[in-house]
Chains A and B, each alone.
Chain A
């Protein structure tokens, strides 16, 4: 495989890959605007359970399809 083709594939893979979450502690007050990053309180199991509920609802066609163009 040509080197440039391979580098294109790697670049594309990197672009598509979701980076691991990094916790961010921020507490910035700018006048009336308060930027305060919030860490999730739920457990990993709860997060997965939440996703399952959503998946089940999608299978039951709870959500309405709209135009997919931007």
Chain B
């Protein structure tokens, strides 16, 4: 175990993890992973979109308690870069022919990880597909349901910044070409 003096990188907690910590069996394992991550130089964070998902349809009491519980975590805003990157990711997934296209919220969380180079902690690995994201650790969680032991893989996933920036650059080149073509089509003033 390596204990860092100061966190060096953000671990972005996906909304599903907050759902799972409601389960006492999963909660113990999730906090063990989060504690290990902190000891290895990560600080906990979440996207504002996860806060929306958490408080959506929540009671006043639960909302206030949940907001107090996440006070010690970095909360990433959803700015123009995040939204544009989320849109681009959607198009990249489509071009790659992904069998299951992630939902808009997942794209916003994925884009947040791209923009701020975070490691995502999730149990929904398919929401962060290759070749844009790589699994760096896959701890297996277990819980009991109807007397049976169920295995639930968790994932620590990081964006492949090289692949993503190359794709964004290609898209930007296409945009530039599109604009040049439009310029050429404009009637010339005499």
Q: Is B42 an interface residue (CB 8 A)?
A: yes
The answer to whether B69 and A68 touch across the interface, beta carbons within 8 angstroms, is no
Q: Is A4 an interface residue (CB 8 A)?
A: no
> Which residue in A26, A40, A50, A63 is a CB contact (below 8 Å) of B6?
A40
Count of A-B residue pairs with CB < 8 Å? 185
B174 to chain A, nearest CB (A): 11
Provide 26 A-B residue pairs closer than 8 Å at the C-beta atoms, listed in order of the A residue.
Answer: A15-B138, A18-B40, A18-B136, A22-B9, A24-B161, A26-B161, A28-B161, A30-B168, A31-B172, A32-B80, A34-B81, A36-B115, A37-B117, A40-B8, A40-B10, A43-B6, A44-B38, A46-B43, A47-B72, A48-B38, A49-B72, A53-B71, A58-B31, A58-B69, A59-B27, A70-B123
Assuming the A-B contacts A28-B165, A31-B172, A42-B7, are A50 and B73 also in contact, with contact meaning beta carbons closer than 8 angstroms in the complex? yes
Identify which of B16-24, B90-98, B182-190 touches chain A. Answer: B16-24
CB-CB < 8 A to B156: which residues of A? 18
B142 to chain A, nearest CB (A): 11
CB-CB < 8 A to B169: which residues of A? 30
The answer to whether B143 and A68 touch across the interface, beta carbons within 8 angstroms, is yes
B125 to chain A, nearest CB (A): 8
A interface, CB within 8 angstroms of B: 15-24, 26, 28, 30-40, 42-44, 46-66, 68, 70
B interface, CB within 8 angstroms of A: 2-10, 18-23, 26-27, 31, 33-38, 40-45, 54, 58, 62, 65-66, 68-74, 80-81, 84-85, 88, 114-117, 119, 123-126, 136-140, 143, 145, 150, 152, 156, 161, 165, 168-169, 172, 175
Name which residue of chain B comes closest to A65, CB basis.
B22
The answer to whether B4 and A33 touch across the interface, beta carbons within 8 angstroms, is no
CB-CB < 8 A to B31: which residues of A? 51, 54-55, 58
CB-CB < 8 A to B150: which residues of A? 68
CB-CB < 8 A to A42: which residues of B? 7, 43, 72, 74
The answer to whether B8 and A21 touch across the interface, beta carbons within 8 angstroms, is yes
